[in-house]
Structure 1
Amino acid sequence: MSALRGQPLDAAQAERFRRALGMLRSGQREQAQSIAQTLTEQAPQAADAWQLLGMCLAGNDRQEQANAAFEHALALLPGNAVISRNYGVSLARHGKALRVQGQLEAAEPVLRKALALLPEQASAWTDLGVVLRLLGRAGEALAAFRRAEGILHQRSADRPDLQDAINGALIDVGRPAEALAGARKLVAVHPGHPPAHETLSHLLWENGAELAPEEDPLSEFREAARAQPENRALQLAFARTLLMTKHADEALAVLQPLRKREPGNALLNWFAAEALDALQRHEQAAPLYAAAARGELGVLPEFLNARARHAFRARDFELARNCAEKSVAIDPCNQEGWTHLGTAWRLAGDEREHWLCDYQGLVGYAEVVPPAGFDDLSAFLQALAATLETMHNASREPANQSVRGGTQTAGQLFGRGGAVIRSAEEVLRETVENWLAGLPDDATHPFLSRRQRSVRFVGSWSVKLRSSGRHSNHFHAKGWASSAFYVALPGDVLASDISSRAGWLQFGQPLEELDLDLAPRRVIQPKPGHLALFPSYMWHGTVPFHSPEPRLTIAFDMQPKS
């Protein structure tokens, strides 16, 4: 990097500048920063010195101080292209880090400033698109992805991950036909790119009845896997998709040649064990789980949770408890680990189940107050139902969710444009905060110890169940607290009683596939305009109903926010 115009560094200072820059590039960040700091003291009017200090501070994860140094350099040389470029790159890296950490609201302004300084950063436009999509602003996300696409096109560059993100955003904005066309094109151009095949399969799974009748959602993926037996990533992705769509026998067949090539591979053993479990071949799955547990997977909560599921199916409840205890010891916020530990305690008659899952004290149920602009709650619910109906574009449920016999909206619900959705988000947050204020303190409790004044939404969606539809019993891995808000309910749900419980919400009954004969601990009859709130680790599901009218809800996951 050549010295900038402005107050120049003298020859000795310029030499130290170059030496510090070399140190920074070779990873000697603290030494480089020490030299840069000295240069700013010796030559306080030299923009070069301040810019170098900004680069060093950013490299040492001191972004706020780095920003101040870059701003000082720009004050000395306003509009300088080199400083703007380096500052823009620095901010883009910081914005990406914030995105990866899940700090979406903080990431957006950082990325926007990075792009204001250096608009040709395709990666920063992509990161901004990811942030906006996760915030529910799918239309803005699509525009950001298109900006990145345009920049890369000018460079004759091709990024399959970006094209896959564009297809995902098209799904979110309700344009599944365009998304399907884009997904088909992407797998044709990049047949070895696993995410492209996963997107295409999921699109056909949910929308194929209307967009591609008679087409097997997995056919394209299957052909690609057969044509590329050496593409390990593709084979594993296909096996995962097969397990997700209840094709465990085929998944086992796909894994067999991989396991022959890599005997003893812990990850492949894990996948095969999952398939065997799904086929009720628990005795064959057990040694594979045990072998995998002896390696690095043995301290991975995701694996420990999978082995706990196996242990429940195999009726080895002590093993299930041990796996759950290890899972929450490694990750105290791991929701599935707490779900399994509560179940193990219940099976053992351990009173700690009631401490963890206080189904009376920790389950909230309240009527929301109609938002401003609506005469009453009924008017609000009617407007909300009409808005949500337009968002249910799929023809069947997602492959990897609890919905059975219904549809789920794509992407994030909250954050979308539209006054009705914004009003719903506001009144639901208000109801949540009132619930939080009434919860007790308990520094030892995995849920209560994390309670704050408010929450941030980390997932939001709507579910529309048809007659005979239900939610299978499940928990929410990405939440701390979860919810169900009742927008519209069929007549037989409203008229049901404790004997039929048609469409009711139930807590405490484990996932059906674990085959544990445990009854629900609490049931709640849904009422329009009412919001149920509960810890994300609690098992919950719904009882099927039979009616020509749909059961329409909003759900969201939350993390604590002060």
Structure 2
Amino acid sequence: MNPAQAQRFKQAQGLLQSGQRAQALSIAEALTQQAAQAVDAWQLLGMCLADDGRQAEANAAFERALALLPGNATVSRNYGISLARHGKALRAQDRLEAAEPVLRKALALSPEQASAWVDLGAVLRLLGRIDEALSAYRQAEELLRRRGVDAPELQDAINGVLADAGRTAEALAGARRLVARHPGHAPAHETLGNLLWENGATLAPGEDPLDALRAAARAQPDNRALQLAFVRMLVATKNADEAIALLTPLRRREPGNAMLEWFAADALDTLQQHEQAAPLYAAAARGELGVLPEFLNAHARHAFRTERFDLAARCAEKAVRLDPHNQEGWSHLGTAWRLAGDEREHWLFDYEKLVGYVEIAPPPGFNDLPAFLHALAATLDAMHGATREPVNQSVRGGTQTAGQLFGRSDTVIDAAQAALSNAVETWLATMPVDPTHPFLSRRRREIRFAGSWSVKLRSSGHHSNHIHTKGWASSAFYVALPGSVLASDATSCAGWIQFGQPLESLGLDLPPRRLIQPRPGHLALFPSYMWHGTVPFDDPESRLTIAFDVQPKN
């Protein structure tokens, strides 16, 4: 570039740094035309285009710069930073399969980006590739260690991945070290509490799983995040009395705080003190929480409990208007329609048409379905190392595997994923498309897994009635069933899956709309907003299933 062009280059850099994107981009485009062999001009154009959200064009500009000066460290670093930002955005949009190659290329160009390694680890963890996720996190950990940075968020993620991998003792030890080193870091305390809740009977016998979090909250009364983390855990574990006692000084310190009012209302509702909860919900609804679907759903639950079905309907209608894909909002709206005798309940739920029940084909490599189910049961059994159900899940009297089940480096799990994916797509192909329907309007030829896990219920175990907030279609695949379930009939329905009966704590006297008797190798499929649960069974044998949520692939 000549001196005048160099001056314009510096001007564009300043404009870009000050957020004047359009002006900077205009100068960069002119410079690449005037000085087509100038590496800096193409690099600047790449940075401007990336900042403008035009990533494909930005990549082309950076590639042009590297073609002019192969291996240049500055161009590679800036190109890598640009790709890392794009990969982070894709991850935030839940486009995990698209984010992975972008992040990998970013790190190939600029491997010193600790944050990109963290993003890659998070993406891989969500894809179920646990070993690769841990490796990415370790890369970030080493880079930060060299810089003298102690990142508790990263260490907490590493502990979570160790738990996903079944290395629970390591995860628990890591969580204990982390809260000792960072006593004010609330997520680390939550991780420790959850690990102790599920695994404490074997790894820390006699220890109250809430003691460490309780002690930390008492020692740090001004740590708001820690106080709220403890409140959440108390409500989730049915210790609502203690939650209210903890919230009292917080609410006194911050009168009118809508979030604290919501927490207190939820705790009071848990204790069935609905009259005291009602004004707190109403006050919170008048503020900024009144446009938050999560709060609207909580308010609807309260309205059902107090038999204000018109209020429940209004809350649900607003929730789905704000978020048309909000599964809990649709579930509440359909329930309100049912209570009002509104025929739209049947349009929304249609328990015959929208509940599928199919037998899967044995995957390649297995002679028949029983052989496959036997191998799958052995694999899953080894993954059920916990002694009780997770907090805030539907499982009662059983265990649930940690992390994503699908995506792991296991041939039997891979075979199950492929067989189940084929079964889902075959079932969906039989569904009509209805542009007015919240489920049928989103039907696509292909799906992606949004979550996957296994559940092992013991005798008297069951799933409480629930929905899946992160899904579009959900499932139950039967791997191994006790004799009492196989021999049950329509009179006892022991171990059967039921649809249409709302969450028990809503206090609604509504029977299920449809029940299905499980059979090994069969897959139940249904919209994620549809209430479903299971009937308890009495048998020394376990009831072993795989469940997953899917989203339509665009």
Taking structure 2 as the reference length, the TM-score comes to 1.00
Paired with 1:319 and 1:139, the residues of 2 have a C-alpha distance of: 48
Paired with 2:431 and 2:19, the residues of 1 have a C-alpha distance of: 49
Q: Deviations over 1:383-415 (max 9, x none)?
A: 000111111111110011000000000000010
- 1:169 CA drift (Å): 0.4
**Counterpart in 1 of 2:87?**
95
1:283 is aligned to 2:275: yes
Paired with 1:64 and 1:52, the residues of 2 have a C-alpha distance of: 15
1:407 is aligned to 2:370: no
Q: Deviations over 1:313-357 (max 9, x none)?
A: 111111001100110011110000000001000001100000000
**Counterpart in 2 of 1:60?**
52
- 1:287 CA drift (Å): 0.4
May I ask how many residue pairs the two structures share in their alignment?
554
Paired with 2:436 and 2:397, the residues of 1 have a C-alpha distance of: 40
- 1:208 CA drift (Å): 0.2
1:391 is aligned to 2:383: yes
Counting only pairs closer than 5 Å after superposition, residues 460-539 of structure 1 correspond to structure 2 as 460-539=452-531
Paired with 1:37 and 1:55, the residues of 2 have a C-alpha distance of: 11
**Counterpart in 1 of 2:37?**
45
2:21 to 26, 29, 39: 29
Paired with 2:306 and 2:489, the residues of 1 have a C-alpha distance of: 35
2:155 to 152, 158, 163: 163
Query: Partner amino acid for 1:26?
Result: S
1:243 is aligned to 2:235: yes
Counting only pairs closer than 5 Å after superposition, residues 98-117 of structure 1 correspond to structure 2 as 98-117=90-109
**Counterpart in 2 of 1:301?**
293
SS at match of 1:557: strand
Counting only pairs closer than 5 Å after superposition, residues 230-269 of structure 1 correspond to structure 2 as 230-269=222-261
- 1:308 CA drift (Å): 0.2
Counting only pairs closer than 5 Å after superposition, residues 293-372 of structure 1 correspond to structure 2 as 293-372=285-364
- 1:33 CA drift (Å): 0.5
**Counterpart in 2 of 1:10?**
2
- 1:475 CA drift (Å): 0.1
What RMSD in Å do the two structures reach over aligned CA positions? 0.5
Report percent identity of matched pairs. 75
Residue segments in structure 1 that go unaligned for 5+ positions in a row: 1-8
Q: Deviations over 1:500-537 (max 9, x none)?
A: 00000000000111111000000000000000000000
Taking structure 1 as the reference length, the TM-score comes to 0.98
- 1:299 CA drift (Å): 0.8
Q: Which 4+ residue blocks in structure 1 deviate beyond 6 angstroms?
A: none
Paired with 2:306 and 2:178, the residues of 1 have a C-alpha distance of: 42
1:184 is aligned to 2:176: yes
- 1:264 CA drift (Å): 0.9
- 1:427 CA drift (Å): 0.7
1:542 to 531, 534, 547: 534
**Counterpart in 2 of 1:211?**
203
SS at match of 2:213: helix
Paired with 1:248 and 1:102, the residues of 2 have a C-alpha distance of: 34
**Counterpart in 1 of 2:142?**
150
**Counterpart in 2 of 1:419?**
411
- 1:312 CA drift (Å): 0.5
- 1:294 CA drift (Å): 0.6
Q: Deviations over 1:49-70 (max 9, x none)?
A: 0000000000011111000000
Q: Deviations over 1:467-494 (max 9, x none)?
A: 0000000000000000000000000000
**Counterpart in 1 of 2:166?**
174
Q: Deviations over 1:396-452 (max 9, x none)?
A: 100110000000000000100111111101110100011011011211000000100
1:220 is aligned to 2:223: no
SS at match of 2:353: coil
**Counterpart in 2 of 1:377?**
369
Query: Partner amino acid for 1:355?
Result: W
Query: Partner amino acid for 2:459?
Result: S
